[in-house]
Every structure is written in structure tokens, then in C-alpha cells.
A and B are shown apart, each in its own frame.
Chain A
Amino acid sequence: MSIEQSLPVRKARRLGMKDAGRPRFVILLCMVWLMLVLLVAAGADHLAPFSYTEQSLLNRLKPPAFLSGDPKYLLGTDGLGRDVLSRLIYATRMSVVIAILGSMIGATFGTLLGFLAAHFRGLIEDVVMVFVDFQASMPFFIIALAVLAFFGNNFELFLVVVGLYGWEVYARLTRGLVLQANGQGYAFAIRTLGVHPARIYMRHILPNILSVLIVQLTLNFPELILIETSLSFLGLGIQPPQTSLGLMLGEGRNYLATAWWTGVPAGIVIFLTTLSISLVGDWLRDKLDPTLKSAEI
């Protein structure tokens, strides 16, 4: 792109970003919601009025308290007489834990491969980039389904499979950024001092590229929640008696006609959480790096 072009383009982007800026109270509301979700996830054992597996067959499919149900069950009960609110709290914890651990897995793995590709170049770089291309051109969801089909389902495998979502983006980003950083004065200066490459990458280059990776994390996180909840919703992720937001909604599907409250609350929590992360992420992106375009996903 020529220089004459880039000025008006930048201007347009700046204008575009100004429009994209959401009212501050919306961001605040989103942050409050995310805090609430984290608190609920952390304090699930203390907050839940009942155990999430406690059945009470006499109290099956009781409507929520606000629909003239039993005030003991604020959000009603499900098909086995389990308290929906308690299950919602535990399901939130499960989904949040998987999303956080999963993000760490994907970010670490992808970033590491990116560093390796940029450091060794040559064959290693080619191999990494071929896999990056492959992953980018195959829908992750299908790969995850295939792996779960072939290996059967257990929690650790599911966590790793979900966690690997998006590794290729980290790898590509890191490789590009490290190649760029390696050509800059500070990296050269440290290298001439004879510092070990690992130390250069960890102590000097990583902090410089971290903001871009954090931005990627905020983009990746809601998508990871969607992957986990989709798989669990289809019955191919988290297995009963464990529960996750997707699984709850999936189980509630069978009661849509008679007891919508068994599943819909879980859907609302997923939606509000991914929405909040997207909005806060956008806002954070503008704060962290004003040169990044907020409009591009």
C-alpha cells in the first residue's frame, strides 16, 4: 500500500473506531457481569443452595419462583428434580474453568511454536507454517469432533482438544512479531552482548509483543467458550454427572415444550458472557494498542 493511500485509510479507520466506541456504562455493565461470573465460578460451593447432583423426584420440573413456583427453587427444577440455580452455578464454574485453562494451553502451545519457527527458520519454520495453514483451512469444530469420536471422551482429552482452538493464530502472530523484533536495534544489541537466545526471547522480546498476544487472547476466549458449550450441547463434551453451560442447555432441549427454564438460563449466561468479553475486549484493544483496528475480527 502506498503512502498516499495510507493516510486517508488511517483516518477512516480512526473515524470508524470512534463510532465503534460503545457508551461507557455498557462497558461498565459488561465488566460487572464478568466479575459476577468469575465470583460465581470461584465461590460455587458456597453460593449454590443445593448440590448440583441432588435429585428430588417429587419436585420434578417445578417452575421458577417468579412464575409462581416454590420459592425454595428460585429458577425451578429440572427433569430429575435438581435445582436449576445450583446447576447453573456449577455449570458456569465448569465452563469458565475450561475456557481459562484452555486459553492457556492454546496460547502457550501456539506462541512456543511461533518462537521456534522464528528462531530456527528453514525447515522447522516451513513445517510449522504448513500445519498452521492446515489448521486454518480446516474447521476446528470438525477436527475436534473427529478426535473425540476416535479417542472417546474423557475430561483431560476434552480440555486439551478445546484448548488447542486457535493455536495457529498465536503461532502465526508470534512468528511474524518475533521476526520483526529480531531485526530491531534492541534485539541486536542484546545479542551482541552474548545473551542466550532463550533469555532474549523471554526477557526482552516477549514483553514487547505481549500486548498483541493479549489482544488475541480476548478474541480467542469467547470463541473457546462457544466451542466448549457447542460440543457439550451436542452431548460430545462434558459428560453427566458433570455439567457445563452447554450440556445444561442441551439437556433442557428435551423439555422445551413443558419446562423451558431448565435450559434457557444457561443459554442466557453463555450469551451475556461472550457478549461482555467481546465488548470489553474491543475496548481493551483500543486502550492497549490504538493503532490496531477494532473493526477487524
Chain B
Amino acid sequence: MRLQFILAKLTRGCLTLLLAVTFVFIVLRVSGDPVAMMLPDDTPPAIVAEYRAAWGLDRSLPEQYVRYIWSAVQGDLGYSFRDDRPALEVVLERVPMTLLLGLSGFAITVVVGLVTGIAAALKRGTGIDHAAMAFSIFGHSMPNFFLAILMILLFSMMWRVLPSSGGATWWHLILPAVTLGIINAGTVARFTRSSMLEVLHQPYMRTARAKGLKLTRRVVAHAIPNAAIPVVTVLGLRLGSLIAGAVVVETVFAWPGIGLMLVNAVGQRDLPVVQTIVLLVALTMVLTNFIVDLTYGWLDPRIETREAKEDR
């Protein structure tokens, strides 16, 4: 049963990756002739033909498709138009910076979101609850780029306490990470609150109280583990919005990561870099979803059985 569950999730992940590669391939082929884009307009037809042959563009579409997938699997995603190095190499150089920003932002989301949500659920109907929900709606409605600009205005321009652009020191990390974290924390807080509220009304919570357990122990040992599943889902789902947010936040704060690189590459139409980043994002999403699915199975073994039944 366990192996079957993992295999099903794995197949789905591979299918998503295949679709991502196909999507990029189709878009690349439909959007224009790459040779015509690379070479000047007055190139003699013989040289154009030579380039086409060298890149395999003279072959049939299915053959090109298979070759494209094969080279993508090997990590050969073309050369960056801008600096003539393999696109994968150019992109991978930026990964550590994006990971640093993304993980810091994610940590802020988790801590702020969970604490706010749990506090709001425990103090339902009080000022704390209202403040937490106001914060949640704020985070949900606030465009990340506007928050980023307000942060720069306040902390870099008015009070002059934090740097606004670049990634040279740890100080440079604070504003982008907080911006990225706060935006997603609102949604996580809201989910944590409603998930906790459901759990707090369960009979076993009453039993725990009747047993004379202290509040902290009831919450930590009984409520939080049971409220965790929807929250883990939301955290997993937030990854997409974290990646999209990182693109915007990196651009505003000139953080030298993949997001900034993507925006620049789109502006310069550096297609090999764009396709590399799109495929890397797809790979990241698939891996994360896979981990989230496995976490479910671990948090609540009933999910495996339920899904197996539904599939049948």
C-alpha cells in the first residue's frame, strides 16, 4: 500500500514535468524560428541552412521533440544569448541567493503565520483575534510590490536604517525576506486559525481537558498535531506564491537571484535562460508537492487508504 501510494504520486510528478517540457517546446517552436532570431537579417540562406542543420531544426517535429526532451534530461538547455555560457550554469549560479531569500521568507511565513493563527484561535472573539484577522486580510490584499516599495520608503529613505538594494551583506536580506514572509503569513494565519478552531471543538479536546491536562499540553500535544494537515497543505500551496513573490521582491530589491534574472531574461528575450528557469521551477514544484504528499501520509495514515479507495 505504502509503495503504491508513493509510486502514484511519483508518476503524477513525472507527468507534470513532461507537460512542462512539452509546454516550453511548443511555445518555443510556435513563437518563431530561433535561427532567424539569432542571425542578422542579411545572412546568406546557405549559412542559415547550416545553422538549422546544426541545431536539428531540419528534422521532423516529433524527432525534434524527442531530442529536445533528451537534451533537457541531460541538462543541456542551450547557451545564454547574453553571456554565451550554458544557460543551466548561468542559472545555477544564482540558486544559492534565491534559496537564501526564499527560505528566510518561508521561515518568517511559518513562524508569524502559525503564531498569529494559533493565538487568534485560542483567544477567539477578543482583540487579539480581530487584530490577527485584520493582519491576515492585509497580507492577502496587499500587493507584494507595493509592500516592498513602502518598506523601502520607510526603512531606507525615511529612517535610513536598512539598505534597499543589492545582496552584499546580511543587512540586505532583511527587507526582502520580511516582505516575502509577511505577504504569505496572512493566508497561513487564517488557515491555521480555522483549522485550530475545528480541532478545539473535537470531543477528544474535551476529554483532554477533563483529564486535567494543562492548556499548553492540550494545545501542543493534542490540538496542533491534528490541526497540522490543512496547514501543511497551505504551506505547500504557498510555495508557488512564494516563487512568484520572489520574482517581484528580488526585482524591487535588486536581490541577485533567479527571479531578477528571469525578469531581465524576459525583457531581453534570452530564451534559453527563460526556459531553464521555467523547467527548474517546475522541478521544484513537483518535488515539493511530492514531499507534501509524503508528509500527509506520515501525519495521517488514513489519507493513503482513502486515496487508494477513491482511485479504484
CA distance A246 to B144 in the complex (A): 11
CA distance A223 to B264 in the complex (A): 24
- Contact between chains at B124 and A142 (CB < 8 Å): no
Q: A146-B24, A149-B271, A271-B142 are in contact. Are A253 and B201 (CB under 8 A)?
A: no
* B265 in contact (CB, < 8 A): yes
Q: Name 20 A/B residue pairs within 8 A (Cβ), A-sorted.
A: A5-B202, A8-B203, A9-B198, A9-B201, A16-B193, A133-B16, A134-B19, A137-B285, A138-B20, A138-B285, A139-B241, A139-B243, A142-B281, A150-B28, A222-B141, A233-B248, A234-B263, A270-B143, A275-B141, A295-B193
Q: Pick from A141, A151, A152 the residue with the most CB of B within 10 Å.
A: A141
- Contact between chains at B137 and A279 (CB < 8 Å): yes
* B294 in contact (CB, < 8 A): no
Count class of interface residues, chain B: 35 or more
Chain B residues, CB < 8 A from A218: none
* B131 in contact (CB, < 8 A): no
Binds B, one of A56-64, A67-75, A193-201, A260-268: A260-268
- Contact between chains at A256 and B194 (CB < 8 Å): no
Within 8 A of A (CB), among B242-298: 243-244, 247-248, 251-252, 262-263, 265-267, 269, 271, 274-275, 277-278, 281-282, 285-286, 289
Chain A residues, CB < 8 A from B218: none
A29 to chain B, nearest CB (A): 14
Within 8 A of B (CB), among A257-297: 257, 260, 263-264, 267, 270-271, 274-275, 278-279, 293, 295-297
* A230 in contact (CB, < 8 A): yes
A205 to chain B, nearest CB (A): 24
- Contact between chains at A19 and B129 (CB < 8 Å): yes
CA distance A275 to B157 in the complex (A): 27
* A116 in contact (CB, < 8 A): no
Q: How many residues of A contact B (CB 8 A)?
A: 58
- Contact between chains at A146 and B278 (CB < 8 Å): yes
- Contact between chains at A137 and B16 (CB < 8 Å): yes
Which of B24, B143, B197 is the one whose CB lies under 8 Å from A271?
B143
- Contact between chains at B274 and A146 (CB < 8 Å): yes
Within 8 A of B (CB), among A135-160: 137-143, 145-152
Chain A residues, CB < 8 A from B265: 149
- Contact between chains at B197 and A234 (CB < 8 Å): no
Q: Which residues of B contact A (CB under 8 A)?
A: 12, 15-16, 19-20, 23-24, 27-28, 30-31, 124-125, 129, 133, 137-138, 140-146, 149-150, 152-153, 157, 187, 190-191, 193-194, 197-198, 200-203, 240-241, 243-244, 247-248, 251-252, 262-263, 265-267, 269, 271, 274-275, 277-278, 281-282, 285-286, 289
- Contact between chains at A12 and B16 (CB < 8 Å): no
- Contact between chains at B140 and A278 (CB < 8 Å): yes
CA distance A130 to B11 in the complex (A): 12
Q: A15-B124, A233-B145, A271-B142 are in contact. Are A148 and B266 (CB under 8 A)?
A: yes
- Total of A-B residue pairs, C-beta within 8 Å: 169
Within 8 A of B (CB), among A110-150: 130-131, 133-134, 137-143, 145-150
B20 to chain A, nearest CB (A): 7
CA distance A230 to B243 in the complex (A): 13
Closest chain B residue, CB of each to CB of A18? B125
- Contact between chains at B31 and A249 (CB < 8 Å): no
Q: A148-B266, A230-B143, A249-B145 are in contact. Are A139 and B201 (CB under 8 A)?
A: no
Chain A residues, CB < 8 A from B201: 8-9, 11-12, 15
Closest chain B residue, CB of each to CB of A269? B146
Chain B residues, CB < 8 A from A12: 197-198, 200-201
A294 to chain B, nearest CB (A): 9
* A226 in contact (CB, < 8 A): yes
Q: A8-B203, A146-B24, A236-B266 are in contact. Are A226 and B143 (CB under 8 A)?
A: yes
Closest chain B residue, CB of each to CB of A152? B269
